[in-house]
Structure 1
């Protein structure tokens, strides 16, 4: 189980960093509404631009913390739960603007992965 949790940490951590650091200005089929960048996506959700920067800093910080958690296990649980919470917000925003269901699938998938990571991490500490 430990190796599965580590694999999920790598998948989630690198994927979040990819979205926010490598592809923030790239159009993808997953962006909310007809947005082509992350900033446009936040505007589509009716959110101010500063919230994009705040969420970005939080997601990048938590993704890095999740990756560091591979070596420092005590960081893994809080980082995965923090990311799960932010990803739930993404799902809610897609729902708010009545996006097709497939657009919120990546956020849902990564949220589930984060919850599996958190469950595996906290169960390991309590067993």
Structure 2
């Protein structure tokens, strides 16, 4: 079970870093609406630019705290719970604009892994 917990933490953190740091300005098949980058995606959801910055900061901070949780275990539960809540919000945005279910798959996987981490701690 410990290996599963370690893998889930690394996958969640790496996934968030990938989306928010490496692929922020690039198109992906999972972007909401017809968005080609993160700014367009938040606009498609009807959200202001400041919200994109706030969500990005929170996701990167929580992913980092999740990894720091390897040394400070008390950070794991709040970090994973915070990421799970943000993933629920991401899923709601995809539903709001009528995206096909496939576009929600990464958020759903991240939600599942975050909840797995929560329940294993």
Report the TM-score when normalising by structure 2: 0.98
Query: 5+ residue gaps in structure 1?
Result: 122-127
Please give the alpha-carbon distance, in whole angstroms, between the structure 1 residues aligned to 2:41 and 2:47. Answer: 9
Deviation at 1:70, TM superposition (A): 1.6
1:2-30: per-residue Cα shift (whole Å, max 9, x none)? 12101100010011011101110010000
Please give the alpha-carbon distance, in whole angstroms, between the structure 2 residues aligned to 1:89 and 1:80. Answer: 14
Output aligned runs, 1:92-107, within 5 Å: 92-107=92-107
Q: Is the 8 A contact 1:9 1:70 kept in 2?
A: no
Q: Is the 8 A contact 1:68 1:75 kept in 2?
A: yes
- SS state at 1:55 partner: helix
Q: Which has the larger radius of gyration?
A: 1
Query: 5+ residue gaps in structure 2?
Result: none
Please give the alpha-carbon distance, in whole angstroms, between the structure 1 residues aligned to 2:104 and 2:115. Answer: 17
Please give the alpha-carbon distance, in whole angstroms, between the structure 2 residues aligned to 1:85 and 1:15. Answer: 16
Please give the alpha-carbon distance, in whole angstroms, between the structure 1 residues aligned to 2:113 and 2:107. Answer: 10
State yes or no: 1:29 paired with 2:17: no
- SS state at 1:95 partner: helix
Alignment-derived partner of residue 15 in structure 1 = 15
| Count of residues paired in the alignment | 121
Stretches (4+) displaced over 6 A: none
State yes or no: 1:111 paired with 2:111: yes
